[in-house]
Amino acid sequence: MELFSSIADWRNYASEVRASGRRVGLVPTMGALHEGHASLFEKAKSNGDVVLATIFLNPIQFSVKSDYEAYPRVAEADRAVALANGVDCLVEPTLEEMWPDYPEATPTKVTMKGVSDTLEGEGRPGHFNGVASVVAKLLTVTGPCRAYFGEKDFQQIAVIRQMVRDLAFDVEIVTCAIKRDAEGLALSSRNARLSPEDHTRAKCISQAIAAAQAEVECASELRHRMRTILRAAGAEIVYAEIVDNVTLRPADDSQAGDFRAIITAKIDGVRLLDNGPVTIKAKN
Ligand code: AMP
């Protein structure tokens, strides 16, 4: 596995891969790698891509500085996970090269409206502008044929697709299903902050998503089912919504078809995300 940190080396590597006629698959991460990240590496590998993973803890997507500071930094362990899961090239860009003006505000940014403002965007102002900006830079330096994102961060996918469309990035966005632990909890670096009891309690989130996958005729019934399960388990609901797959606008009760159930809830202060596909039956 190649290991780079400078933009020059990283760019050279990717252009040599392209020149040799192979495809580069980019997998952006913030580190603290687990099986969810590994599933993205495996998917890129199975598509025949040369897998280029990045680990960059991006400060400009954190609205609260203490969250950035508390984020796990486990470079040695991450390198082992990347190596064991078929990553061909691991890039650990430096903060100095990614955001040369940090901690001053970055003068050049990707900003967005619409999909970035709702759900996660409401409680975390500027978060998705930070995400879009860093992904734009990773795409620009790497020039991948495909880039891989997990459905665990469903809104992030909508934001990236919007940016790729609007700025005409020449890349295919590939999405991967959510990886879960034995109790059904979506894997996340934040799960380590849960006590064993809270971990069991957090099952209510995937159970609420599953309850929304029942065949019913209106979105408000699905919302009600999700919220009832979350409240019964004592979870603090940030949102529990049924939304359009692309615009992320809430479904109204006159609509039928395919939507997304999407939840963020706090269990003892730990913010957990989950989502899943739902279908609302047409009324007869
Ligand atoms: P992060 O390091 O949290 O920025 O995540 C990097 C990528 O891994 C993102 O595309 C995430 O959606 C994806 N990812 C994180 N957790 C999971 C999971 N449990 N299942 C699938 N993909 C995941």
- In the chain, domain spans: 2-176, 189-275
Q: Which atom of ligand 1 is nearest to 149's Cα?
A: 10
pTM of the model: 0.97
- Residue 174's SS3 state is strand
> What local confidence, expressed as pLDDT, does residue 42 receive?
98
Distance 36 CA to ligand 1 centre (A): 6
pLDDT band at 214 (very low <50, low <70, confident <90, very high): confident
Each residue's pLDDT tens digit, 59-70: 999 999 999 999
Contact predicate 133/110, CB 8 Å: yes
Distance CA 153, CA 258 (A): 18
CATH number assigned to the domain with residue range 189-275, chosen from the 4 options 3.30.1300.10, 1.10.260.40, 3.30.70.260, 2.40.50.100: 3.30.1300.10
Q: Using the 8-state DSSP alphabet, how is residue 250 labeled?
A: B
Cis peptide upstream of residue 103 (ω within 30 degrees of 0):
yes
User: Does residue 129 register a pLDDT over 80?
Assistant: yes
Instruction: At 272, list the tokens.
Output: 């957990």
Question: Could you tell me where the DSSP H helices lie in the chain?
Answer: 7-19, 35-46, 65-70, 75-84, 95-98, 120-123, 127-142, 154-167, 196-201, 203-211, 219-232
Instruction: At 91, list the tokens.
Output: 């890039």
Ligand 1 atom 22: residue of nearest CA: 150
Ligand 1 atom 6: residue of nearest CA: 29
Instruction: At 207, list the tokens.
Output: 């159970």
Contact predicate 140/171, CB 8 Å: no
Distance 30 CA to ligand 1 centre (A): 9
Enter the CATH code of domain 2-176: 3.40.50.620
H/E stretch holding 77: helix 75-84
Between residues 118 and 283, the one the model is more confident about = 118
Sequence letter at residue 48:
G
Average pLDDT in the 215-226 region? 93
Q: Which of 26, 33, 37 has the most ligand 1 atoms within 8 A of CB, as the residue to mutate?
A: 37
Q: Which of 26, 27, 29 has the most ligand 1 atoms within 8 A of CB, as the residue to mutate?
A: 29
Catalytic residue among 34, 37, 127, 224: 37
Active site residue 37: yes
Each residue's pLDDT tens digit, 169-190: 999 999 999 999 999 999 999 9
Contact predicate 1/85, CB 8 Å: no
User: Does residue 37 register a pLDDT over 90?
Assistant: yes
User: Does residue 284 register a pLDDT over 90?
Assistant: no
Q: Which of 61, 120, 151, 152 has the most ligand 1 atoms within 8 A of CB, as the residue to mutate?
A: 152
Contact predicate 29/138, CB 8 Å: no
User: Does residue 283 register a pLDDT over 90?
Assistant: no
> What local confidence, expressed as pLDDT, does residue 176 receive?
98
Pairing type for strands 172-176 and 146-150 reads parallel
Residues with CB under 6 A from ligand 1: 29-30, 36-37, 39-40, 149-150, 152-153, 176, 178-179, 186-188
Residue with tokens 């990553």: 87
Report the 10 Å Cβ neighbour count for 257: 12
- Residue 198's SS3 state is helix
